Amino acid sequence: MRNSIEFKVYGNYALFTDPLTKMGGEKLSYQIPTYQAIKGIVESIYWKPTIMYIIDEVRVMNPIRMESKGIRPIEYSGGNTLANYTYLKDVCYQVRAHFIFNPHRPDLAFDRNEHKHHNILKRSLKVGGRRDIFLGARECQGYVEPCVFGEGKSVYDDIEEIHFGTMVHGINYPDEIGKNEMQIRLWNPVMQNGVIKFIRPDQCTQIRTVSEMNPKQFNKENITHVDELYAEIEGGGNN
């Protein structure tokens, strides 16, 4: 598809935090990335409020391994706390995703040019993204590069199914759902032969409202038109 992207993302560590462990300070990573974490990675490659990314599937390439580390979190009150964080180690994923135009932002219809957005997205991927890539947490640096989804060997190719129970799917923001509220989504992922096929956000049935929130307003004065951005890149810009 002219709006699709396939890439590999990898790094030494990842922390896709289970929210149940956040309050106690002993953070524990999920075994697999959440939909929201992968969506954030794609948005770090290239993002504009005109478009919305849909994560189609993720292929887990390396064995799922954990490593605990003693961490000294920042204590703004001047304390000296030591916590244990449990990270995923030596992670590598293949990702397939695509974008659509945000149906809840008719005010940005002037910026809808699929061809140019797709070209910028592909070019941004080749240079490693327009922003830093993080694997769930700021201290977990990640790297992206183009790939062909399904190529290469995954350690889970011959394992028929692995169930991961109930986990966070992602977050609904007001500019993506047309409501002035932020919501959390849950789902029950299953990995089949190394591949996790994500359901779309609007297919999640376990949804809970977290808080009220108003969408940020965009217009021609505070957003760069895709034609201008495309011309800048064609003119020799690094991004």
Q: How far apart are CA 84 and CA 37, in angstroms?
A: 22
Amino acid (1-letter code) at residue 32 = I
Is the pLDDT assigned to residue 1 strictly greater than 70? no
Task: Enter the pTM of the model.
Answer: 0.89
Q: What is the DSSP letter of 112?
A: -
Alpha-helical segments (H) within the chain: 35-45, 114-126, 174-177, 226-234
Q: Nearest-CA neighbor of 189 among 43, 54, 33?
A: 33
Q: How far apart are CA 43 and CA 62, in angstroms?
A: 24
Q: Tell the residue number behind the tokens 């790297």, with chain if given.
A: 143
Q: Mean pLDDT lowest for which of 41-55, 56-70, 97-111, 123-137? A: 97-111
Residue 41 backbone dihedrals phi, psi, to 5 degrees: -65, -45
Please give the pLDDT value at position 236: 63
Is 141 strand, coil or helix? strand
| Range among 7-16, 177-186, 221-230 rated most confident | 7-16
Find all residues with CB under 8 Å of 146, minimum gap 6, and list them.
6, 7, 8, 122, 125, 126
Cβ contact 35:170 at 8 Å: yes
Average pLDDT, the chain: 91
Task: Output the DSSP codes for 62-107.
Answer: S---EEEEEE----TTS----EEEEEEEEEEEEEEEEEEE-TT-GG
Cβ contact 33:58 at 8 Å: yes
Q: How far apart are CA 192 and CA 218, in angstroms?
A: 41
Quickly count: other Cβ atoms within 10 Å of residue 5's Cβ.
23
Two structure tokens written together for 211: 């808080």
Burial class (CB in 10 A: 0-12, 13-18, 19+), 125: buried
Find all residues with CB under 8 Å of 173, minimum gap 6, and list them.
182, 213, 215
Convert the pLDDT of each residue in 92-148 to its tens digit: 999 999 999 999 888 888 899 999 999 999 999 999 999 999 999 999 999 999 999
Q: Which domains does the chain have, with CATH numbers?
A: 4-234 (3.30.70.2660)
Please give the pLDDT value at position 148: 97
Q: Which residue has the higher pLDDT, 76 or 239?
A: 76
Cβ contact 133:141 at 8 Å: yes
